[in-house]
Amino acid sequence: MVSAGIERVLTLDLHAAQIQGFFDIPVDNLYASPIFALDVLHQFGGNVEDVMVISPDVGGVARARELAKRIGAPLAIVDKRREKAGEVAEMTVIGDVRGKKCIIVDDICDTAGTLCKAAEVLIENGATEVHSYITHGVLSGPAVERVTNSVMKSLVITDSIEPTAAVKAAPNIRIVPTAPIFAQAIMNIWNGTSVSSLFETDSLEPIYDGQFQR
């Protein structure tokens, strides 16, 4: 990329923050968390008293905690143990989700097997609703069918990956745009102003006004 003449890179929710260090040029990693926070507050009308944010594994706790802090909600974890790659052997909920509207947060969803299983486990443990917020919706293979038939009330993804016709047609999948945050980031870079200001929900609120659907 550098040899091709690229001088700066903008990314969204890198799977590993260390990737920024692979480059010898400036890399600005934007976050979906403030966008998701705005959407959650919009969907729940600002009433998050019975909302709980869920990390689908121990490794994603920092990401889930970030959203939980933004909306002022508690945090729980679904601990999963794999016997072999691609198979989830066991899931345990760490935290009390009884009577809660649970929001699962993760950076990527491929076949949605783990996500749908986590939603089932949360309902079995007393959750009243399960919603998921995933940055990068790969949604390959049987993913859309699984999500459509799952106990999840909604799956919210960004358009960082072009949604297929099946994804767009799914009744419980919603897509939030990334164009506003990238456009503002490009403008800030051009003007020499702060990109990190876009890490805050308050900064994104005016540029995402009217972008969320119910």
Residue-wise pLDDT for 50-59, tens only, equals 999 999 988 8
Q: Say what the pLDDT of residue 104 is.
A: 98
Average pLDDT over residues 193-199: 93
> Which domains are present in the chain?
32-177 (3.40.50.2020)
The tokens for 65 are 């905690």
Tell me which of 80, 100, 153, 168 is the catalytic residue. 80
The answer, yes or no, to whether residue 145 has pLDDT greater than 70, is yes
Gap between the Cα atoms of 117 and 125, Å rounded: 12
When pLDDT is cut at 50, 70 and 90, the band that residue 10 belongs to is very high
Which pLDDT score is estimated for 87?
61
For the chain, state the CA radius of gyration. 18
pLDDT at 89: 65
- For the chain, what percent of residues have pLDDT higher than 90? 83
Q: 9, 26 in Cβ contact below 8 A?
A: yes
pLDDT tens digits, 82-129? 666 656 568 999 999 999 999 999 999 999 999 999 999 999 999 999
Q: What is the DSSP letter of 151?
A: S
- The Cβ of residue 154 has, within 10 Å, a number of other Cβ atoms equal to 16
> Rounded to 10 degrees, what is the CA torsion of 198, 203, 207, 209?
130
Q: Say what the pTM is.
A: 0.92
Q: In the prediction, which pLDDT does 123 show?
A: 98
pLDDT at 212 over 80: no
What secondary structure letter does DSSP report for 195?
A: S
197 has a pLDDT exceeding 60? yes
pLDDT of res. 47: 85
Quote the pLDDT of residue 43: 92
Backbone angles phi, psi at 116, to 5 degrees: -65, -35
- The phi, psi pair for 86, rounded to 5°, reads 90, -5
Reply yes or no on whether the pLDDT at 72 is more than 90: yes
Q: CB of 135 within 8 A of CB of 108?
A: yes
Res 81: pLDDT: 74
Q: Which amino acid is at 201?
A: T
Average pLDDT, the chain: 93
Query: Beta strands 51-55 and 173-176: pairing type?
Result: unpaired
User: Distances from the Cα of 31 to the Cαs of 35, 81, 151, 182, 198, in angstroms?
Assistant: 8, 28, 27, 10, 8
In the predicted model, is pLDDT for residue 3 greater than 60? yes
Q: Is the torsion defined by CA of 154, 158, 159, 163 positive or negative?
A: negative
Helix, strand, coil % over all residues of the chain, rounded to 5:
35, 25, 40
pLDDT at 58: 87
Q: Active-site residue 80, yes or no?
A: yes
% of the chain with per-residue pLDDT over 70 = 96
pLDDT at 14: 94
